[in-house]
Structures are given as structure tokens and as C-alpha cells.
Amino acid sequence: MKRRHHGLLRTAAAAAMLFDGSCALAQDIEPRAYTNAPIGINFLLAGYARTEGGVAFDPAVPLTNAKINTDSGVLAYGRVFDIGGQSAKFNVVLPYVELRGSADYAGTPVARQVAGFGDAKMGLSVNFLGAPALSPREFAAYRQDLIFGGSVVLSLPTGQYDHDKLVNIGSNRWSIAPGLGLSKAMGPWTLELMAAATLYGDNTDFFGGKRRAQDPIYSAQGHLIYSFASGIWAALTATHYGGGRTTLDGVRGDDLQENSRLGATLSLPVDRHNSIKFHASSGVYTRTGSDFDAYAIAWQHRWGAGF
């Protein structure tokens, strides 16, 4: 009985990995993004996040002297399934954001207070090595070593947008972010390294009808995670991203971005089907782009596959 109980705890802890980091909403910090979880499990997440400082929801908009606060709610659904004998995950995320504050853009003061839906996102991650597709019963005996995988996140231009306003919740353009990641377990410790590039479509109706194009933004993340036998885990995170120089109606901008952030995440299991996550992060270096503090909490429910 004790062995079975331990297996259920491990299955519950692994199941909680799908949305790890998603509760942080917009800062693109995702501990345990590349990991294994039982096949056939579904996830429902509801979360709240607050940001204070720069533009947390769209690091592509270069603002200075930003004093902008956002309060965001998020709903997300995900599922783990089998691709080529390895575990894969799909999720869809829909945020709702209330924004208020002021900033300078090209030396011009701007102010904004608005609420609405943000851009919806769909994500797919596929493990290539080290994360075999397992049932919840089989997963109880699984021990992670080295996992290698890839992911892609598609952002849809579904959010609130007003071309007469510089600061909006939605971005009025598509973006796609392919990435690769490694996850190495060493006893209760796990070290993760990830790299990604975000490619942007053009916003053809930017601030008065202009066309705004943007170079890719490249990012790298590192996570050090400690997992407790009870299913609790904690993570320390560092992330850096750069690039993203813009072109407005053919005129190249002097707005190359270079930003670094630090964050921490704590996940607490409530019972077999539910867990709560807390996240906080802060900017430590900003050349151009987002410089903000973020705080988040999320509840996650999981079901399916006999779990």
C-alpha cells in the first residue's frame, strides 16, 4: 500500500508539470516545460497574475519610464498524449487583462486604462528522448534521467486592440515561437536549459495605420528545481532575451532589446487531483523593453486515464 501511495504522489507531481510557468502568464518563464507525464491526463488551470512596471504582456513594444500595472486572469486546458512512443503535450491558454498606467514612447507621454481579452496561445511540446509514453500505472515506476524535446507556441491576434492607442492588450499580429530544451535529473534535483526564438508577423495597423515589422527575439532559460517526496517542488529561474529591432513604415528603429529576469516558483499538491502554484519574478537588467515585477497564483485540476 505504501508503494502504491508513493506512485500516486509521483504521478500527481508529474501531472502538475504541464502548466508549470503558465500561471506566470506573460513573462515567458517556464520551469518543467520539458518533462514526462502519464498519457491521457487532462488539465484545467485557473490563475491570477499581477505585474508592476514595464509592459509585461508584450515585450516587443519599447517604452521608457513605464508605470503600468496589469491584473490578469487566465484559463487554460491541456492534455498529454503519445507521439512516436514519447510523451507530448498540447495546451491552449486564454488570458483576460485589466491594464492601467503611463509611459513614454519616442519621448511622447502616453496613458491608458483598458480591459479585455489578451491574445490566445496554443502550445505543443514533444519529447524526443528520455520521456516514454506511459500509462499512470506504468509511470509509477518511471525515473527520469535525461530528456530532450522541442516545442512550438502559436500566438493568435485575438486580443483587445485599438490602432489609435499605442498601448494595447492584444498585439494585432501572429507570432510563432519554436524552442528546444534539455532536462537532467540528479536525485531530487533537476537542471533544465531551454532556448527559443519568437518570429513575428507584421502589424499592418499600428498606431494610426502604420506597418510595424519586427526582427525575432531570441531567449534562453535555466531552471534549478528541487522535488520533495511529498510532491512539493520549488524552482529558481534565470532567463535572458534579446533582439526584436523594429521597422516602422520601412524606417529601422534603434530599439534592440536586451533583458534579463530572475524568478522563483513553488508548487504545492492539495490532493490527488489538485495543486496550487505560486510564482514571482523581477527584471534584473533591461536595455530596451519590459522591466517589471510579476506575482502569480494558479489552481490546477487534473483528470482522465484512470487517474
Per-residue 3-state assignment (H helix, E strand, C coil) for 48-84: EEEEEECCCCCCCCCCEEEEEEEEEEEEEEEEEEEEC
Neighbouring C-beta atoms of residue 113, cutoff 10 Å? 10
Closest CA relative to residue 124, chosen from 171, 67, 176: 176
- pLDDT at position 227 is 95
Q: Quick one: how far is CA 44 from the chain centroid?
A: 15
What kind of fold does domain 2-303 have according to CATH?
Porin (2.40.160)
Domain ranges of the chain: 2-303
Q: Where are the beta strands (DSSP E) in 106-256?
A: 108-117, 121-129, 146-155, 175-186, 189-200, 203-206, 210-214, 217-227, 233-243, 246-248, 251-252
Q: Quick one: how far is CA 123 from the chain centroid?
A: 10
Q: What is the mean pLDDT of each run of 10 residues along the chain (307 residues)?
A: 48 47 47 91 95 66 75 95 96 94 77 92 96 93 96 96 88 96 96 96 92 94 95 95 90 85 95 94 74 91 84
